[in-house]
Structure 1
Amino acid sequence: MPSSRQTSPPWPSRARAGFFIGLAVALASAQAQPMGALDAADPVHPGTPPPPLVLPTTVSADTPAPPDNIAQARAIWQRANQRVAEFPRGHIDLLRWESRQPDDTATTTSGAQAAPGLDFAQALRLSLRHRPELFTHADMNALARAQVRVAYAGHVRELRRAWIDAIATRQRERLLGDVLDATRSGSELGRRMVTAGNWSQARQMREQLIEASAWQASVSARGAAIAAQERLAQKLGLWEAQTVSRLGEQLPPGLPTPPAQPEPGEGLSPAMLEATALSRHPTLANERLLAQRELAVPVPSRQQAWRDAVTAALDAMPEPGPTATPPHIADLNLLRDHAVQRAASAEAALLRQASERRSMARQAWAALQLRHATALHAQDVVARLQTSLEQETLLRYNGMLQSSWELLASARERLASLDAALLARRDFWHAQADWQAVLAGADYAGPDTSTSSSATTVAPAGH
């Protein structure tokens, strides 16, 4: 996975200094080895309280009462029109301006947030400070060293996934906050129209339901961001609440754009993938050598006799059913030939492992290509079409050919397409982490099920 340093703009020296000061604090905390570990496990240690959880304001279920008479409705409508006339784009500009006026609670992007942030190489080094079992040692034999290599490859994969999720969930939280803002504009505009008397309360309730759904999605995204940050903190060995709360600010602002083409690796071609996965497995070559030795012991005629006995047992096996029994070999002379048995067992075990490794390589590479195609399609086709559609809707709105509701619905659809593109990008980097782990000797983690948390779609208002 490429470093975020390649895609992030330069950042000020003050921001750089602030970031590295924060990172140095985290590193110092991890380096305080036995005292830090003892403090972390001591219930008497007070620790530091986590920052308060800040959620968006909740949605009201109340609807405004319509005007009592025509004169009151006319007066309300005249006041609203006078205020709207001050803005070139009417109601939408008015609502956006008002949302910024009384209390601008939007968090200003700090220097740490604008910085390239904690890249994966730094995170990996930090995580390994409390994983001594993932270090190889000079006195290890080949088998022990191979086992550490497999465990290390699995750790790198899981840490990379946690790092990706921590970045993506923060980015998604901001995006779904924008969706909530768009729905609130529609709800507020509907409330004013009900107050003026030219809209029913039923139509306003539909806008409030859309806003309520967006609020739930925004809060869920906040919870996912907290959970992902905590998972990453666990893998990094960070335990103080204040240090963990600042971890998100040290992450890159977003995931890198997927490359133009999925790459199997430096110097690799698609034809070499299975062979590479086999050659890089730490113990497979040794197991192949042991199986080769076992197969060389029995005479060929005895091995052929065993194969014939297996074939005969399979042919005589009853049809599958409730009373079916496994295949049976009755030749005791053959069964007591230990050389034949060891050779057959070694050959079968090696075949199972080799077929699994080849299958893992094919699955991981196919998943990487599929996730790459999906990410580029969501980014370059769907999101681009939704953006163009919103721009066209805005032009028609300015020409008084479409309503404010159609403009708000178009904005929500564009944000939903950006959410889908973000999830597709996250899934691509997950697949990239899985592929690199397979090449390093770890097992394939299986199909990525994270796409079950699909993009939040906000239904357009039916006006």
Structure 2
Amino acid sequence: MARRLSQVPLKAGAAVIGLSILSGCASIDIGQSVKRINDETVGFTQGNLSLATSESEQAKAQDRAQSLLDKPVNQSQAVELALVNSPSMQALLAQSWAESAEAAQSGRIANPVFSFERLRAGDELELARALSFGLLDLVALPWLQSAASRRIEQAQVKLAADVVDQVTSVRQAWVRAVAAQQTLTYAKQVYEASEATADLALRMQAVGNFNRISRARQQAFYADAATRLAAASHRSTAAREKLIRALGLNDAQAEHLKIPDRLPDLPLEPVDPETFRTQAFQSRIDIRLAKNNFDAYAKAQGIERVSSFTDIELTARRNSTFDNASGTSSSARGYEVALRLPIFDWGGMQRDAFNARTLAAANQLESVIRSAGSNLRESYSTYRVAHDIARHYRVEVLPLRKVISDENQLRYNGMLIGVFELLADYRDQVETVIAAIDAEQQFWLADAAMQASLIGRPTSATLAAGGSAPSASGGH
């Protein structure tokens, strides 16, 4: 219900509204937002993150993508290719822009409502004009703008987290694709060696120089190698296609995609634990997200408590009455205040729900802080163990396997072992190389996961259980 309190000029209400508009409101600039993401996550984006909003910018991005595809794409180039070419990355930026715009909109009060009324009674004509707006919204405008700024900040941090997640996904997809391709190469060598031994065994059995069980053993090796080659071929195709999806390549671009023949060399030394601890916690995204969420609830609690009780609407009016019979007119000016009375609903459940959400946000923040250290320790342990295993293969196992292979070659040349023993040793040597490739893959996956964990986006990178290297083959 409304009650007229006094007569004031209509222009007073308009002046109040004008002052509220001039008080300022939250705004966004997507270009500045993207620049900030590049600055905060430079180790992931290398400053290459951008949103193409025009045809010229899209054409420029496509030209850059094509230039990257003209040569084998290394890991950092794969990340750049995804940043400039992937539609999913562009969709992520556009969605964040929309969320930030909605957040900025929430910091503005609703537009006033203008109403016009025309009434005729006999010779009298009455014209009523009213301008209404939420008085509580006007009073709470500073809090609304502050809340909008926090929501914009939340959207910004969330965008940074999503970008880090996608870049980490691209890095790991590249590692798997290169490792799968490298493994396929050696699987083909195992298959070719097994095929040769199976064919030789069959011919030797035909002339009576080989028994049936020995020939069947060589044939079984060949059959197993064929199965493993087929599986390796599919894994290579699947890993490559996953990388293509992560990079956002179309069919024409996918045909031009070339990746290196082998994984990068291991770093001479792993990241030092002290350096790791120094880098940690400096700018963790997960903690910032949880803290922003808690601050948003905590600082908005005051205005939410008031709005759960009541709402106030201020209306400025001007009524003009014309008497045609007497040829006179009169005007009445004033304002009304409409107050929602908390009779049926005192807003208790709304306040309880808001208190519960604030409490949940506080506990979520504490949970993230407590888990951060544990995630970092686990991530570093995975990284360090993966490095030690891969280096062990590179420094110890592979050189030993080469020594064994060289000695078997000398024994074969001296007619101390036969061709089947020599080919069996060759198969074992290739199997060891494949195991070493898998160890290097585990390291580079763990490296990408550790980099993500440092910035506060823990990524699963468990070490796959692997068998020991095959032993040297003796005579049959």
Using structure 2 for the length normalisation, give the TM-score: 0.57
8 Å contact kept, 1:214–1:458: no
Please tell me the residue identity of whatever aligns with 2:404: L
1:398-417 aligned at under 5 Å gives the runs 398-417=413-432
- Answering whether residue 259 of structure 2 is matched by residue 254 of structure 1, we say no
- Does structure 2 conserve the Cα–Cα contact (< 8 Å) formed by 1:277 and 1:357? no
Q: 1:441 — aligned with what? A: 456
SS of 2:460's equivalent? Answer: coil
2:130 counterpart residue number: none
- Residue 169 of structure 1: how far off its partner (Å): 0.7
Q: 2:391 matched to 1:385?
A: no
Q: Tell me the SS of whatever aligns to 1:283.
A: helix
CA distance in structure 1 between the aligned counterparts of 2:398 and 2:165, rounded to whole angstroms: 34
**Deviation (angstroms), 1:184:** 1.9
Report the counterpart of residue 271 of structure 1 in structure 2: 277
- 1:157 is aligned to 2:168: yes
The alignment status of 1:426 with 2:437, answered yes or no, reads no
Root-mean-square deviation (CA), in Å? Answer: 3.9
- In structure 2, what is the equivalent of residue 36 of structure 1? none
- Confirm or deny: 8 A CA contact 1:117 1:252 kept in the other structure: yes
Equivalent positions of 1:97-246 (< 5 A) are 119-135=77-93, 141-240=152-251, 243-246=253-256
Structure 1 residues 280 and 194 mapped into 2: Cα distance closer, same or farther (>3 Å)?
same
Residues 456, 229 of structure 1: CA spacing in aligned structure 2 closer, same or farther, 3 A cutoff? farther
Distance 1:237 1:346 in 2: 36
- What is the alpha-carbon distance in structure 2 between the residues aligned to residue 176 and residue 385 of structure 1? 21
One of 410, 413, 422 as aligned partner of 1:395: 410
What SS does the aligned partner of 1:354 have? Answer: helix
Match of 1:319 in 2: none
Alignment coverage as a number of residue pairs: 314
The 1-side partners of 2:355 and 2:243 are apart by: 50
Change (3 A) 1:433 1:405: same
Q: Secondary structure at the match of 1:261?
A: coil
Q: For residues 243 and 156 of structure 1, what CA distance do their matches in structure 2 show?
A: 19
Q: For residues 46-75 of structure 1, what are the alpha-carbon distances to aligned partners after superposition, in whole Å with 9 as ceiling and x for unaligned?
A: xxxxxxxxxxxxxxxxxxxxxxxxxxxxxx
Displacement, 1:151?
A: 0.7
Change (3 A) 1:292 1:274: farther
Q: Are 2:445 and 2:461, in contact at CA under 8 Å, matched by a contact in 1?
A: no
- 8 Å Cα contact 1:156/1:437 also seen in 2: no
Return the offset for 1:215.
0.8
Percent of residue pairs bearing the same amino acid type: 25
Question: 1:461 offset after TM fit, Å?
Answer: 8.1
Rg comparison, structure with higher value:
2
Q: Does residue 1:355 correspond to 2:313, yes or no?
A: no
CA drift of 1:422 comes to: 0.2
Q: Is the 8 A contact 1:30 1:129 kept in 2?
A: no
Question: What is the deviation of 1:283?
Answer: 2.2
Measured after TM superposition, the shift of residue 214 of structure 1 is 0.6
Q: Tell me the CA shift for residue 173 of structure 1.
A: 0.5
Structure-2 change in CA distance of 1:130 and 1:251 (3 Å): same
Query: Displacement, 1:391?
Result: 0.6
Amino acid corresponding to residue 176 of structure 1 in structure 2 = A
SS at the partner of 2:462? coil
8 A contact 1:116–1:251 mirrored in 2 = yes
The gaps in structure 1 that reach 5 residues or longer are: 4-23, 32-111, 295-335
- Deviation string, structure 1 residues 84-116 (Cα, Å, up to 9, x no partner): xxxxxxxxxxxxxxxxxxxxxxxxxxxx88x56
Alignment of 1:357-372 (within 5 A): 357-372=372-387
The offset of 1:219, in angstroms, is 1.0
Aligned pairs for 1:275-290 (under 5 A) are: 275-276=281-282, 278=284, 281-286=287-292
Which runs of 5 or more residues in structure 2 are unaligned? Answer: 1-42, 45-58, 105-151, 301-350
